[in-house]
Amino acid sequence: MSVMETVVELIKETVLPELAALKASTVRVEDRLAGMEKRLDDVNLHLVDQSRRIDQVNGRIDQVREEVLQRIDQVSGRIDQVREELVQRIDQVNGRIDQVRVDLLQRIDKVNGRIDQVREELVQRIDQVNGRIDQVRVDLLQRIDKVNGRIDQIIEHVGRLYQVIVRREEHFDLVEKVGRLESEVAEIKRKLAA
């Protein structure tokens, strides 16, 4: 055998089984690649569908965004309108409050003036009443002094009357005693004369 034949035999023995194994592996890889390509096609279809859906959702989001922005603009306009209306009403209320405040201050000033006037009047009346009370007090004290003097006179007069009554009783006692004595003397005289 020649070298060439030996090399060919060696290649046949070593390389051909490897090539056959590689070929079998390649077939398997190709089968797997075909499955993966089919799977990738399915995924691509799914991604295309998802992309279409995302585009739809984005379109819907844009539409909703536009609607929301329009509504926000409407609400902002309404808020501005209500704000203006409220500011006008607040200004009206503030004006009315100022009017009422001025009116109340004027009334309070009038009432304070009336209170001062009534106070002065009452102070004058109180002074008059105090003066009258002082006059009545002085008059009553004078009358009390007169009554006390009269009572003293009456007490003195009663004392004198008592003395007179006591003397009169003594007088009646004396008259009685004298009458008895005269009776006794007359009895004695009769006895003597008899």
Statement: residue 87 has pLDDT above 90: yes
Q: Is 85 exposed, middle or buried (0-12, 13-18, 19+ CB in 10 A)?
A: exposed
177 — pLDDT class (breaks 50, 70, 90)? confident
| pLDDT tens digits, 93-146 | 999 999 999 999 999 999 999 999 999 999 999 999 999 999 999 998 898 888
pLDDT, residue 1, reads 58
Q: Is 61 helix (H, G, I), strand (E, B) or coil?
A: helix
> Region 10-32: what's the mean pLDDT?
81
Statement: residue 43 has pLDDT above 70: yes
> Alpha carbon of 84 to those of 77, 81, 98: distances in Å?
10, 5, 21
Statement: residue 194 has pLDDT above 70: no
53 — pLDDT class (breaks 50, 70, 90)? very high
- Residue 163 to residue 151: CA distance in whole angstroms: 18
Share of the chain above pLDDT 70, in %: 98
Q: At 37, list the tokens.
A: 């390509």
